[in-house]
Every structure is written in C-alpha cells, then in structure tokens.
Amino acid sequence: MVSPTLLQGIPTNPGELFAQYGDVVLAFGIRILTFVVAFVVLYRIGKSVFVRMVKRALDSREFSSAVVSLGSSIAGAVALFGAVAVAAAVAGVDAILTAFATITGALALGVAFAAGDIIENFVAGIFILKDKPFEVGDHIEWDGNDGIVREIDLRVTKLDTFNNEQVTVPNGDLANSVVMNPVANETRRVPFDFGIEYDADIELAREIIIEEAHKIDGILDDPEPTAPVTGLADSAVVLNGRVWINPRKTGAGGVKNQWVEAVKTRFDAEGVGMPYPYTELTGSISVDGIETATAEAISDD
C-alpha cells in the first residue's frame, strides 16, 4: 500500500493538478512537438539535398555504381544524424542532444576498435574502384600469387587461379602490395632463352627462331620478333627470343609453348644442337690395390 504520508501534498482534483503541473506539461509538449516537426523538415530537406549533391559529385568523377551507392547511403546517414542534432538544439531538448552525442561518440569509438580491418579494406576497395589498377577479367600478380579477376567488391576482390580455384583477397592486401597487371597495355613482350652449342651457326639459329615465331597465330609482326645473343653460358650460347602479343586477345603461356616446341623441332631438323650441362671426371681409382687408369690416361698411352 502507498503510505498516506506520500500522498500528502499531491492534488487529487484534476483542476488542481492542471493548475499546478499544466505549465510544465505544456512546455514539455511544445518542445517535443518542436523537435518532431524540426526533425521531419530538416531530415527530408537535408537528405534530398545532401544525397543529391554527393551523388552528383561522385558521378561527375566517374566513380563506379557501387561507390555512388555507398556514398549516397553514407550521405543519408549523415543527414539523419544531423537532423536529430539540429532539431534537438532548436527544440531546446538538452537531454536528447546530450544522449545523442554520448551514443554517437561511443558508437564511433566501438566501430573504430572493432572494425579497423574492415574499414581499411573498405577504403582500399574505394580506391581500387576509382584508380582502376586492374579490372574484371584482368590477369594480375601480387606477392607471389596470381589469378584472373572475377569480381571487385568494396571489401574483397575475388579471383580465379589457373587451376580454377577461387581466391578471395582483402582489398587492403592488394592496395598495399605491388600489383603487376600483364594485360593492362595493348602489347606485351614474351621472351624465352634458347641455348645452342658453341660451334652451332648463330645466324641459322636466329633465323629459325624468328621464322617459327611468324608462323604462330597471335604473335605480332610489329614489333617484329628478334633473337639477339644475350649470354655466353658454360656450355651454350644464349639467344634471347623476343616476340610481342596483344594480351587482351592472346595468352602468353599458350604462345610460348607453341613457339618453344616449334623451334626445338626445327633445331633438331636443321642440326642445331641444344647442349645440356654435364660434368667430366678425370683421375684414377684403386680396386683391391690395383690402379685402374681412366679413359683419358689410356688414350694418352
């Protein structure tokens, strides 16, 4: 039961209640009404104008549709928070403004600690979509890995390896690594070292390398294939065959495989030797006390 002492001093007559607390209730109601009206008006106007400005700015800089959509969503959230803050200030509802500031600060701090990596990948994804170091369908290489880009999201990039395995890479890793894009330009050089014997005809070998290159579909005539001597190895003269392809139309691996096989076949047919490293041992060994001379010692006798 409520103690009679507590009820003392509280008017029981509705007229007396209104007379004593009416001004307080009315003032509070006016503040709440002012807050609601101000919030609705500010949010509608702010969202319409701010979102439109952000979208127009991103479109003018030719951002992708994903970035434009993201920017519009962020602009809408900013308009919402701004409308709450301004409406609370206009209505003089200090409690709402204080609670809003506290919640916003705590939320921002929590997000910063808990989602650091996500935010990093998110921002990296925006820069990848803007700078376009690679696009969907490109073959890229990074940190000893490679693959064909299949999808670029705001947080991750999905690639397919040449073994048809899907790889999902955080955008932060790609943004902070040296990424090589072999198909970014209109032409790409495909080199291969051919080793021939020291007594082989260099001009004949060069002619074979270039002729076989011209026979393969996908190898360009301009720049034309070349095969300069680039090294004198322990057992071979090295000719560096160089051909050019359009990487958007022709795969480098397939062209190289055909070219090397064709050159090897022609070398065999034309008698151009391709040496391989070998080791010659000289000296003598003793078996049961009997010394056996090597073939070199016998020939000298």
Once rounded to an integer, what is the mean pLDDT over residues 46-67?
76
Which pTM value belongs to this model?
A: 0.57
- Amino acid 90 reads V
Residue-wise pLDDT for 154-198, tens only, equals 788 999 998 989 999 999 889 888 999 998 899 999 999 999 999
CATH of 188-270, one of 1.20.950.20, 2.40.50.140, 3.30.300.160, 3.30.70.100: 3.30.70.100
Cα–Cα distance list, 180 to 29, 133, 148, 175, 231 (Å):
65, 9, 12, 12, 27
Residue ranges per domain, the chain? 12-114, 133-180, 188-270
Q: What is the per-residue pLDDT across 69-116, written as a single tens digit (0 to 9) for each? A: 767 777 777 777 777 777 777 766 665 556 666 666 666 666 555 556
pLDDT at 41: 82
Mean pLDDT of the chain: 79
For residue 301, the model assigns a pLDDT of 45
What number is the average pLDDT over the span 226-255?
93
Using an 8 Å Cβ cutoff, are 259 and 213 in contact?
yes
- CATH number for the region 133-180 comes to 2.30.30.60
**What does the alpha-carbon distance between residue 88 and residue 100 come to, in Å, rounded to a whole number?**
9
Indicate the pLDDT class of residue 283, thresholds 50, 70 and 90: confident
CB contact set of 156 (below 8 Å; sequence gap of 6+):
121, 125, 168, 169, 170, 171
